[in-house]
């Protein structure tokens, strides 16, 4: 039992390392536009969509879901950078910061719902 827990912990740690590095790479490739956290917004929306797909396709206890969902996508998406970006934007443009925060939540939820919908296995039609 202890070996299973250690394996699962290592899967999440490995995935989190990959996901966090991918988020950093995205933010280096897409620097903030005039203080607007473009990379964080994109990472959170794409990550929410992919988490929805994984949730629809893989059982919650699957090792692959731990590695990819909790690990990679958990590291790729970021609540802390979302809040930090929102607060930094708030000092310059409060209305834009509010729109960014609200838009991020709505778009993230919509992306996750779309991922769940598209990720569900299709029923085969009888010929």
Indicate the annotated binding residues for Na(+).
74, 77
Q: Could you give phi then psi for residue 33, rounded to 5 degrees?
A: -85, 105
Angstrom distance (rounded) from CA 49 to CA 77: 11
**For the chain, how long is the longest CA-to-CA vector?**
61
* Residue ranges at the known binding site: 74, 77
Q: Cβ distance 16 to 75 under 8 Å?
A: yes
* End-to-end Cα separation, the chain, in angstroms: 47
For 50, the 3-state DSSP assignment is helix
CA atoms within 13 A on the CB side of 70: 17
């Amino acid at each position: 039992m202890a070996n299973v827990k250690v394996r699962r912990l290592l899967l999440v740690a490995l995935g989190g390392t990959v996901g966090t590095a991918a988020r950093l790479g995205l933010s280096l490739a897409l620097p903030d536009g005039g203080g607007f956290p473009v990379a964080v917004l994109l990472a959170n929306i794409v990550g929410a969509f992919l988490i929805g797909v994984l949730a629809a396709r893989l059982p919650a206890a699957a090792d692959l879901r731990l590695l990819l969902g909790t690990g990679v996508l958990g590291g790729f998406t970021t609540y802390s950078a979302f809040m930090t970006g929102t607060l930094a934007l708030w000092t310059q443009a409060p209305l834009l910061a509010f729109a960014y925060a609200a838009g991020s939540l709505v778009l993230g939820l919509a992306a996750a719902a779309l991922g769940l919908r598209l990720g569900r296995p299709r029923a085969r039609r009888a010929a």
